[in-house]
Structures are given as structure tokens and as C-alpha cells.
Structure 1
Amino acid sequence: MRIHTTVWGVGNPLLRDDAAGLEVVRLLDERKLSGFSLRRCELTPGNYLATLKRERPRRFLLIDASDMGLPPGTLRRFPLARVDDPSFTSHDLPLPQLLAGTLPPDCEAWVVAIQPQSVDFGIGLTPAAVQAAQECAARIAAGRLDEIAALE
């Protein structure tokens, strides 16, 4: 089976804005988009590797909160291949090692990062993260990923 776009939301739902990627996936799921495979990976994206390998997506998007030193709610995108810092994520192994050999060679793979305002213990996104998640989901659904600024 070949899926057009696979979207993984990662994050901890108990750490406020760290759950922003999960909210993007929830919002996309509400739209009932065809050709999309959506996964709320939370803290264990490794659990979805077999599904990813079976789907063989044309585009893979990983959505996560990331402290980029930007204003809260800022969106940035960058190629998955750019993730070379093992400290980028605390979810499973570092992403390049986790996904090595899983994505098809012709797959376009991106990370979309959302600048959190708060990753304190608690449930619920801040208003900045809610707005960013809505914007991110809208752009992904409309096929306008290129409108999200690249991370410098």
C-alpha cells in the first residue's frame, strides 16, 4: 500500500505545549483527508516503524515542539536529514537512527517544529501553541508546507 502523506505527532501530553504535535494530528484527523496516515505517537514513535514501512509514504512529516529560541508559536520546517543532534528528541532513539532504512528512498521527509511557550507539567496548550497547531494543520491539509518558513 502506498500512502501519499504520513504525519507523526510526537510529544508528551502532560507537558503543556510539548503536545503541540499531537494537536496537529488531531486537527488533521478531524478533516478526514484522503491519502493521509496520521499517528499520535506521543513518546514512542518507534512503535510505528512497521506501519511506516508498510505505508511507504511519498511524504513523511514529523510534528514536534522544539525550543528554537523563537517567539512562542513560531513554526519552522527543515529536512529530516538535518536532524543530527542526538539531544533533539527524548523520544526513543535519535530520529536518524530510528528511521534509518524505514522510509522509501523517494520519500520527502520533513520535521515541522513548533516553538513552545511552556513545557511545564500540566494539560492543555497555551494560546500560542493552539494557534500554531491550527496554522500548521491548515497548511499541511492544503498542501502548502512550503509556506512554513525554513529553519535557518
Structure 2
Amino acid sequence: MTNASQETDIATAKVLLCVGNSMMGDDGAGPLLAQQLVDRPIYGWQVVDGGSAPETETVHIRDLTPELLVVVDATEMGLNPGEIRQVDPDCIGEMMLMSTHSMPLNYLIDDLRDAVAEVVMIGIQPDIVGFCYPMTAAVSQAVSALHRQLADGSWRKIPRLAAADECC
């Protein structure tokens, strides 16, 4: 749960908060993305590995004063494993009845909204979330695809969760 970017400014325009537990199979999507960004940094992005207790990073994120916060987490959306969607932060509380995190992400996002101009949630559909399970190939490939989309700027084109599926 540390600041992992090599290029930082006092004010960071874009912060990526990666959430999840790498010991819980596909729930490790966020930490894997954080590690990929340490290994292959993307100019302009500051990465924060929030692990399974991302609320402990709120003070750090506020200190970065980002214009944009992108939260990435494995998210049960009823899709095929590895599918990626932008998720309306207002629906997170209704969608995530069961979470591997110590606090539901909607509380964290609501807390940061007064400090960050724009908050975007990106979910990666998990297949297997269980203690000591390995990450599935579909989710690992999705994490690599998301890294590429962040690098080339196409991440904004990630589809939103379809209206019929919103707020499960």
C-alpha cells in the first residue's frame, strides 16, 4: 500500500487507485495492475496500491490533489470473466453486497469526491475469488489490456456497464 510511481509532482493530475487482495485469486487484479505500473510506468499517472484496505490511502490521495482518480478493482458485474467496464460510482454500494475489502468502495469514493474533480471506477469481472487460488488467465489478460489502454489513452472508451445491468 505504497505510492509506486517513479515520476511524481506535488500536484498529480491523474491518480490510479488499485484495489484488491493478491492472495484471493482474481481479486488480485488491482495489485497486479499496480505492479505492472511499477514495472512499466505510464507518464502522467501516479499509482497507489490500496490493497484490501484502500481507505488507508485517502489522506495520501488528497495530498496528491489529483484532477482525476481512477479506481480499479475486481467487480462482480454478471459478465464473462475478464470483461472490463466503467462502473457508475453511485451504483457500487448496490452492486457489491459482498466485498473482500474492509470498507465498501462507495464510502471511499464518496469521501474523496470533495477533493477530486472526477472519480471513475473501472471494474474487471472476476472468475474465481478465493483464498490461495491463482489468478485466472482471463483476468490477468484483462489487467494487461487495461495497462495498454491507460498507456495509449483509450481507457475512456471502455464501455459503461449497460443500463439494464446498472445497479444490479
| TM-score, normalised by the number of residues in structure 2 | 0.80
Equivalent in the alignment of 1:69:
78
Q: CA deviation at 1:17?
A: 0.5
Distance of aligned partners of 1:33 and 1:52 in 2 relative to their CA distance in 1, 3 Å threshold: same
Question: Kindly tell me: are residues 108 and 26 of structure 1, through their superposed partners in 2, closer, same or farther at Cα, counting changes over 3 Å?
Answer: same
What residue ranges of structure 1 are gaps of 5+ in the alignment?
Answer: none
Shift of 1:39: 1.5
SS at match of 1:46: helix
Structure 2 portions without partners, runs of 5+? 1-9, 163-168
- Quote the residue 1:149 is aligned against: 159
Q: Distance in 2 between matches of 1:2 and 1:129?
A: 32
Match of 1:37 in 2: 46
Determine which of 15, 18, 26 is the counterpart of 2:27. Answer: 18
Tell me, yes or no, if the aligned pair for 2:81 and 2:139 is still in contact at 8 Å. Answer: yes
The 5 Å alignment of 1:25-104 reads: 25-85=34-94, 87=97, 89-104=99-114
Is this contact kept in 1: 2:89–2:109, CA < 8 A?
no
Partner residue of 2:149? 139
CA RMSD of aligned residues (A): 2.0
* Distance apart, 1:71 and its partner CA: 0.8
What amino acid does structure 1 have at the position aligned with 2:87?
F
Range 53-62 or range 77-86, more displaced: 77-86
Report deviation, 1:105. 5.8
Per-residue deviation, 1:41: 1.1
TM-score normalised per structure 1: 0.87
Count of residues paired in the alignment: 152
1:25, 1:137 within 8 Å by CA — same for their partners in 2? Answer: no
3-state DSSP class of the match of 1:83?
Answer: helix
Contact 2:20 2:100 (8 Å CA) reproduced:
no
Paired letter, 1:8: L
Moved more, 27-36 or 95-104: 95-104
Asked if 2 retains the 8 angstrom alpha-carbon contact of 1:52 and 1:103, the reply is no
Q: Give me the identity figure in percent.
A: 25
CA deviation after TM superposition for structure 1 residue 150, in Å: 0.9
Report the alpha carbon displacement of residue 91 of structure 1 after superposing the two structures with TM: 1.9
Change (3 A) 1:27 1:80: same
